[in-house]
A and B are shown apart, each in its own frame.
Chain A
């Protein structure tokens, strides 16, 4: 019978949650790396037992952990992230030039084809790749050295490369997103990159339609529709039908179009999910009601999904990497909150149940669909 393995990163450790295909009863192991911030845990699509975790601490810096047995045991691999060449400067909060400094790894994206290859999105924004299972890392510096680099600036959470979306149909193509620079695409395996922010309109920056400078929160893509991208921007939910060359807004009837997480149904490329958050100043659901919104039309028309979710006095946030979908026939949807809850819907969002209620703040949720 098929099974599900959730990989959950929190402020104080990682948790691995497993269930059978019914997704009603869960075994929970953890905390792994107790007391450390686990920004992201992600498994190889090629070898699900190969899992990478980003472990960090304000005291002790960055570590990368690797498991080769599905998260039962772990061993540290290399943590030496060195920018290629002279890193130069980017824009600081006050507009002055600030040197590029490595701080942490926000996102780990194992290669779709090779379990030894994994990408790391880091703060200050850059993309690294390991081709030896995390034992060494090299920067794909064509991104950071894009001419716009000196004009990138940090968002409130830092200048982080937080989203990495590989294209299943084209190994040379990949999408990334940076707060607060915007989205970028490579068509040559990471050698060169171009900003793909045309159509974004960010009223809080000096030039609302600038080539770079947009606070993109997350980007999602269905593997069967590689040209169609969905974006949760700081404000606005956006869609592109041409691999990011042009974007248009699909916020439609959402109660607020601020938010962090966005994902696509595993079998319905036009069914997408967001969790609206009240505002950039109030990071919790509007009216204290935790609602996932689903669009079955690729945006614009949205329906609230509330069954099983708290509909009063709920003031948690759902962060950008804290939503995921499984690939079972009846698509499962999962998300974690800063209040420590991890919710599961085994029916594409119609009904929800908490898997666990009292973890540390959840930073990330990934799901593995096991044969």
Chain B
């Protein structure tokens, strides 16, 4: 499915695209990218808040329920930039805010059994 690059906003909200790992798509019962509306400053934290608000079953799977710290084997990417270690109040890239690029939430390739 090709997302619309100019996603309509309501009441000042912006709809952004977020790509989540396959296991979390199964958990959230979504086939591909999700779109969520964010209000206020378009930051990493705002995107994650909106994602968890729309898909509450994802709470705790990307960041800690209490501290909101990113889980160790999760990474955030956007526009070919690793945003994982930025403060979560960092602004999202313009292309993500405009809806032309997704925020990528990725499960690190880290071996395992």
Whether B23 sits at the interface, judged by CB under 8 Å, is yes
Contact check, A59 vs B60: say whether CB atoms are below 8 A apart: no
Contact check, B65 vs A59: say whether CB atoms are below 8 A apart: no
Interface SS of A by simple majority = loop
Contacts of B23 in A (CB 8 A): 35-36, 57, 59-60
Contacts of B21 in A (CB 8 A): 59-60
Chain A 1-25: CB-based contact to B (< 8 A → 1; otherwise 0): 0000000000100000000000000
Whether A70 sits at the interface, judged by CB under 8 Å, is no
Contact status of A60 and B65, CB under 8 A, knowing A76-B57, A79-B60 = no
Contacts of B24 in A (CB 8 A): 60
- In chain B, positions 51-69 with a C-beta closer than 8 Å to chain A are 57, 59-62, 64-66
Residue of B nearest to A36 (CB): B23
- In chain A, positions 274-327 with a C-beta closer than 8 Å to chain B are none
User: For the complex, what is the distance from the CA of A82 to the CA of B27, rounded to whole Å?
Assistant: 22
Interface size class of B (residues with CB under 8 A): 20 to 34
Query: Count the A-B residue pairs with Cβ separation under 8 angstroms: how many?
Result: 46
Contact check, B71 vs A59: say whether CB atoms are below 8 A apart: yes
Whether A186 sits at the interface, judged by CB under 8 Å, is no
Whether A113 sits at the interface, judged by CB under 8 Å, is no
Contact check, A79 vs B65: say whether CB atoms are below 8 A apart: yes
Contacts of A127 in B (CB 8 A): none
Contact status of A82 and B73, CB under 8 A, knowing A11-B113, A59-B107, A61-B60 = no
Q: How far does the Cβ of B76 sit from chain A's closest Cβ, in whole Å?
A: 14
User: For the complex, what is the distance from the CA of A79 to the CA of B21, rounded to whole Å?
Assistant: 19
User: For the complex, what is the distance from the CA of A34 to the CA of B113, rounded to whole Å?
Assistant: 14
Interface size class of A (residues with CB under 8 A): 10 to 19
Contact check, A59 vs B73: say whether CB atoms are below 8 A apart: yes
Q: Which of A60, A63, A76 contacts B107 (CB 8 A)?
A: A60
Contacts of A79 in B (CB 8 A): 59-60, 65
Residue of B nearest to A75 (CB): B57
Q: How far does the Cβ of B64 sit from chain A's closest Cβ, in whole Å?
A: 8
Whether B108 sits at the interface, judged by CB under 8 Å, is yes
User: For the complex, what is the distance from the CA of A61 to the CA of B23, rounded to whole Å?
Assistant: 12
User: For the complex, what is the distance from the CA of A60 to the CA of B62, rounded to whole Å?
Assistant: 6
Contact check, A60 vs B71: say whether CB atoms are below 8 A apart: yes
Residue of B nearest to A35 (CB): B23
Contacts of B74 in A (CB 8 A): 59-60
Contact check, A82 vs B66: say whether CB atoms are below 8 A apart: yes
Whether B40 sits at the interface, judged by CB under 8 Å, is no
Whether A58 sits at the interface, judged by CB under 8 Å, is yes
Whether A240 sits at the interface, judged by CB under 8 Å, is no
Contact status of A80 and B60, CB under 8 A, knowing A11-B113, A58-B73, A60-B24 = yes
- List residues of B whose CB falls within 8 A of some A CB: 21, 23-24, 26-27, 57, 59-62, 64-66, 71, 73-74, 107-108, 110, 112-113
User: Would you list 20 pairs from A and B whose C-beta atoms are within 8 A, ordered by A residue?
Assistant: A11-B113, A36-B23, A58-B73, A58-B110, A59-B73, A59-B108, A59-B110, A59-B112, A60-B23, A60-B61, A60-B71, A60-B107, A61-B60, A61-B61, A62-B60, A63-B57, A79-B59, A80-B59, A80-B65, A82-B66
- List residues of A whose CB falls within 8 A of some B CB: 11, 34-36, 57-63, 76, 79-80, 82
- Further 12 A-B residue pairs, CB within 8 A, beyond A58-B110, A59-B71: A11-B113, A35-B23, A58-B73, A59-B21, A59-B23, A59-B108, A63-B60, A63-B61, A79-B65, A80-B60, A80-B66, A82-B65
Give me the 8 closest cross-chain CB pairs, A-B, nearest first. Answer: A60-B61, A59-B73, A76-B57, A59-B107, A80-B65, A79-B60, A61-B60, A61-B61
